[in-house]
Each structure stands twice: as C-alpha cells, then as structure tokens.
Amino acid sequence: MSVSGSIKNALVPIHPEGYKFIAIFFVASLLLGWLWDPLFWIGMLLTAWCAWFFRDPPRVTPVNDDFIISPADGRISHVATVVPPAELELGNAPMLRISVFMNVFNCHINRAPVRGKISRIVYRKGEFLNAELDKASEDNERNSLVIASANGDVGVVQIAGLVARRILCWANAGEEIGTGERFGLIRFGSRLDVYCPRGSTAAVALGQTAIGGETILARFDEDSVTPLVRKS
C-alpha cells in the first residue's frame, strides 16, 4: 500500500453536517490570531476538536434479528425497567430501557439498533437538563422513533442535554431501516435511550463503554444472560 493510501485509511471521515462548523471554527481562529497569536493556536485546537466531534467512522455491525445494537458511542448510564414515554405509544407496561450517554468527545452519529420499519417519529420540546440525570428521559427536549422489528416494537429516543441544543434526524416514518444504519446525530453531547421489547435481556452493564453500530445492548436468543462484570 502506498504512503498516501495509508494516510487516507488512517483519516476518519467527517460527516457533511460538520463542514460548516469546522469552517466557522477555522475562520474564527484566523480572526482571533490577528488580534493575538496564542489565540490562533487555541482556535486551531478547537477546530481540530470540532472535526473530531463530527467524525463518522465505518462500523462493523452484527446482523442478527436477535440482537439490539447500541445506537451511539458512549457510556451505559442507565439499565432499568421503566414505563416508556407516552408519545412512543408503546403502552403502560414497563420495558427494559438502556441509556447511552455521549460526552463531547464521543462520536455523535446515531444508528438504528434493529432492522425494521419506522412506524412513528415524534419530536417533543423540553428542558436542557444534564442528560445523565434519570429525569432527563421525561423532562428534556427529545426526538423519538419507534421501529417495528422482528421481536416487537423498539423505541429509540434522542435526548438533548446541557450542551446539546440541536437534535437532527434524517429518517422518515414509513421507511425501512437496517441495523446500524445512520439516522441522525445530536450537537453537542447528549444521550440515547433504547426501549427493548418483552423477552429481551440486557447484554451490557452500567458504566460499560458502548460502540455505536457494534456493541450488543440486549438480545433475545437462548444465550441471553445478564452479564456478570468486574470494574477495575
């Protein structure tokens, strides 16, 4: 492989949504540098961070209808059985909810956790509390998708946070979506909740790091066992 090919493979693709923000950071760096040289380098560091924030790396997704895959990179912040938000129209029975918290350094591309048809998309205005708080699921601004999968309806909720002020979703109700397929992102840092149908078992533990499009959050097959973990 050529040197140029090696460099190209080492670079992480940037999502087009980030181009304008990278340009804004770069121009601001030039203007600040005109005022005082050190500000230019600070601005360039922030520009590099902005490019890193909007990275969109390829992922190797397990294709199995018995798996529910993480929709985002981040830390597993909640694993609990709760009643889903009313706007999902998933009923009043408690469902397994697994939350993935994204900080400002995580990749923020959101991916479908299962294969199926998007039966419902609902946007709800709300507050901008710390997305790590449990009440953020009910109080914060959010965008919700319901995907009709082979094992039942799966709810995916994009939740805004303290810094995140913009939820993007380019999927549409009525469309078919594949497991791991990109459907949105949140600027800048937040959380995704996944509501899993009855019969699913969590395959992750609180505090674990998840990789969007790759990590199995829950599963339906005979190997479904809540993992025993050790933190060290």
Let me know whether 191 and 77 are in one domain. yes
Structure tokens at 58: 């390829």
Count of domains forming the chain: 2
Both 75 and 37 in a single domain? no
Strand partners, 176: 117
Encode pLDDT of 123-163 as tens digits. 988 776 666 666 667 777 899 999 999 999 999 999 987 66
Furthest-apart CA atoms within the chain: distance in Å: 64
User: Rounded mean pLDDT of 171-183?
Assistant: 94
| Residue spans of beta strands (DSSP E) within the chain | 67-69, 74-82, 95-102, 109-111, 116-124, 142-149, 152-159, 166-169, 176-177, 182-187, 190-196, 201-202, 209-210, 216-219
Residue 109 pairs in a beta bridge with 185
pLDDT tens column, 105-119: 888 899 999 999 999
Does one domain contain both 77 and 43? no
For the residues 47-67, what does the mean pLDDT come to? 88
pLDDT-derived band at 2, boundaries 50, 70, 90: low
Q: What predicted TM-score, i.e. pTM, was given to this entire model?
A: 0.85
Domain carrying residue 7: 3-53
pLDDT for the residue numbered 193: 95
Q: Supply the residues annotated as catalytic.
A: 190
